[in-house]
Copies of this chain bind each other. A is one copy, B any other.
Amino acid sequence: MTQPRFDAEFAQKFDTLLRWRRDVRHFAPDPLPERDMAELLEQAALSPSVGHSQPWRFVRLRSAALRDTLAHHVDAENLRAAQRYAGEARHDDYLALKLHGIREAPELLAVFCDEQASAGHGLGIATMPEMLRYSCVGAIQTLWLAARIRGIGLGWVSILDPHAVGVMLDVPDHWTLIAMLCIGYPQEASDTPELEQKGWQAREPLADRLFER
């Protein structure tokens, strides 16, 4: 098979994709085509994994009762997280943010890492066992971009107790929750992160993050 070339037009469009990928918290109610969901998962699974271990485990939430339990759990954790800003002007700003779309998103997808994945035979994790988890994160970033190409938005919810969610979803003990993802069509598109629009945090200069040795 001849290797592909990626031309300037594709490179430009890829840059546009990166600029218009958002963490989405406001979803339209429309369901996602089943074929799109299947393709997103297939593309995510093309991501690199340490030792080719493919440690990702994807759990689609179908139960309305589980969704409801999860939403209450996240709201409770969110109120607790807000206490970190108690007495600051930021406290009200924080409480005004909408940080998840768990109740509205047509799809909820939990991504777990199998810490005992047999595939890969332990290659590359002797000193950095976290590489299994990092492999799952790479797959999520792939899925995020693949979704945006289709006009589909994704929101990553991290204001939750990962162990509690594992118990809630009745997964094996050696699976670590990496992400709870809300997936659906976004109510709006933008090239500016919502946290930037709302004045929470601006983009900072990349130059401050570059070093040499």
Q: Main secondary structure on chain A at its contact with chain B? A: mixed
Residue pair B159, A124 in contact (C-beta under 8 Å): yes
Residue pair B119, A204 in contact (C-beta under 8 Å): yes
> Considering the complex, which residues of chain A in the window 103-124 have a beta carbon less than 8 Å from any beta carbon of chain B?
110, 119-124
Taken together as a complex, chains A and B put the C-alpha atoms of A19 and B46 apart, in Å, by 6
Residue pair B178, A123 in contact (C-beta under 8 Å): no
Q: Mark A1-40, 1 if CB is under 8 A from B, else 0.
A: 1011110001101111111110100000000000000000
Among A121, A189, A213, chain B packs the most CB atoms within 10 A around the CB of: A213
> How many residues of chain A get a CB closer than 8 Å to chain B's CBs?
102
**Chain B residues in 8 Å Cβ range of A210:** 41, 58, 60
Residue pair A158, B196 in contact (C-beta under 8 Å): no
> Considering the complex, which residues of chain A in the window 161-213 have a beta carbon less than 8 Å from any beta carbon of chain B?
161-162, 169-171, 178-179, 189-191, 193, 195-196, 200-204, 206, 209-213
Residue pair A156, B60 in contact (C-beta under 8 Å): no
**A residues adjacent to B (C-beta < 8 A):** 1, 3-6, 10-11, 13-21, 23, 41-43, 45-48, 50-54, 56-63, 66, 77, 80-81, 84-85, 90, 94, 97, 99, 110, 119-128, 130-131, 133-134, 137-138, 140-142, 144-146, 148-151, 156, 158-162, 169-171, 178-179, 189-191, 193, 195-196, 200-204, 206, 209-213
Knowing that A10-B10, A85-B121, A138-B140 touch, tell me 11 more A-B residue pairs with CB under 8 angstroms.
A11-B150, A23-B48, A42-B206, A51-B195, A80-B126, A99-B123, A127-B159, A127-B161, A128-B162, A134-B137, A134-B179
